[in-house]
Amino acid sequence: MRPTTTGASASALSADPPLAARVPLDLLDRRLLFVTGKGGVGKTTVASGLALLAARQGRRTLVCQSDAKGDLADAYEVSGLEFAPREVQPHLFAMAMDTESSLREYLRLQLKLPLVAKVGPLARAFDFIANAAPGVKEVLTVGKYVWEVRERHYDLVVVDAVASGHIVGQLAAPQAINQLVQVGVVRNQTSWMLDILSDPAQTGVVVVASPEEMPVNESLELAARIRDETTVDLAAVVVNRVLPELFGRGEEEVFVRLRRPERVVALSGAVGGDVGPVLDAAELAVTLRRTGAGHLATLRAGLPPALAMLYLPYLFSRAVGLRATHRIAEALAEELGR
């Protein structure tokens, strides 16, 4: 649902972006997508919609919740998620990251240590090491997702990742540790992780924004940091909650003429009620749409020309739940040409 504009902002967005920017056909062909953004812009909504779209197209998909306070389960209307993935829709599996469970799995699968009943003391030792060597916990988290890709358990892994303030450190951790540790099992582990994370054909970051000043500025800053501080490809920017164009220039001019006091009085008398609030609402809709279009122009101008920008509509209904997730998936399918 590509937005159109009215008024002074129209020229800023009137030219179509390059084809590669409009139809990023490779987005769902990757195998690992990290979805992030400023808190409150709807990254969980986008992650759940992307995962559902892939599953509806027959791809075996895993969607992962990174934040323990996340609400990914609500998007599919299921009970709380656990570390063990479970099927929530046909071809779609969901899980929640848990550091201790991930540590157990790492010890069993990567270091070939026997599975112990309790890892409390070991986990406390791990916390001590992690605090002394920043990046260890991040590697453990990211490593789980990358391992699922390496083992080809799923066609696509979609991560409802941490917010923009933390995602760069998480994505950069394997590289930092790989540079710090020159030999041994740790370097071997981070090396294969980096091979997958650094391959744009396999891995990408999706930044979610909304057409507002702070989310746009933070998204531009995040895009620059991903490019400069990580080896992971920025795959797309998704703009969520784009308001529809309710009125064109012709309608705007009509509203201006109707705002004359004598015409407001005449109209109110003709309909038997005050039309002032209706005209106020129409003016507000135009103003909000135009302001949002200006922020979108700023976002587009600050990103690489070939980078995909996808637009999702504002849902004038319940924004959480399976029905809403299906609507987001449908909007993403339209944007992706799928």
pLDDT, residue 58, reads 95
Q: How many domains does the chain have?
A: 1
More confident call, 89 vs 3? 89
pLDDT, residue 13, reads 37
Q: Is residue 228 part of a domain?
A: yes
If you ran DSSP here, which 8-state letter would residue 337 be given?
A: T
Q: Is residue 90 part of a domain?
A: yes
Q: Is residue 281 part of a domain?
A: no
Give the whole-angstrom CA distance, residue 95 versus residue 28.
19
C-beta separation of 63 from 89 below 8 A: no
Give tens-digit pLDDT for 248-295.
Answer: 777 778 878 888 888 888 888 888 888 888 877 888 888 888 899 999
Q: Is residue 321 part of a domain?
A: yes
Look up the domain containing 165 and give its range: 7-245+296-336
Task: Give the chain's largest Cα–Cα span.
Answer: 85
Give the whole-angstrom CA distance, residue 293 versus residue 315.
17
Q: Is residue 67 part of a domain?
A: yes
CA triplet 81, 85, 87: central angle to 5 degrees? Answer: 90
Q: Is the pLDDT of residue 17 over 50?
A: no
42: left (phi over 0), alpha (psi -120 to 50) or beta: left
**Global confidence as pTM:** 0.81
Give the whole-angstrom CA distance, residue 288 versus residue 298.
16
- Residues 6 or more apart whose CB falls under 8 angstroms from that of 64 comprise 94, 95, 96, 97, 144, 145, 157, 158, 159, 160
The SS3 call for residue 335 is: helix
Query: What stretch of H or E contains 236?
Result: strand 234-242
C-beta separation of 143 from 111 below 8 A: no
What average pLDDT does the segment 205-228 reach? 97
pLDDT, residue 42, reads 94
Give the whole-angstrom CA distance, residue 184 versus residue 241.
48
What is the phi/psi pair of residue 25, to 5°? -65, -15
Q: Is residue 234 part of a domain?
A: yes
Give the whole-angstrom CA distance, residue 79 versus residue 329.
21
CATH number for position 145: 3.40.50.300
Q: Is residue 282 part of a domain?
A: no
Kindly report the number of other CB atoms within 10 A of residue 225's CB atom: 16
pLDDT, residue 237, reads 97
Query: What stretch of H or E contains 242?
Result: strand 234-242
Q: Is the pLDDT of residue 131 over 70?
A: no
pLDDT, residue 138, reads 83
- Residue in 325, 252, 304 with CA at minimum distance from that of residue 18: 304
Structure tokens at 228: 């400069």
Q: Which residues pair with 34 in a beta bridge?
A: 159, 205
Q: Which of the four pLDDT bands, split at 50, 70 and 90, describes residue 7? A: very low
In total, the chain counts a number of residues equal to: 338
For residue 279, count CB atoms less than 10 angstroms from its CB and return exposed for 0-12, middle for 13-18, buried for 19 or more.
Answer: middle
Q: Is residue 258 part of a domain?
A: no
C-beta separation of 59 from 156 below 8 A: yes
pLDDT, residue 122, reads 53
DSSP E strands in 99-196: the ranges are 156-160
If you ran DSSP here, which 8-state letter would residue 79 be given?
A: S
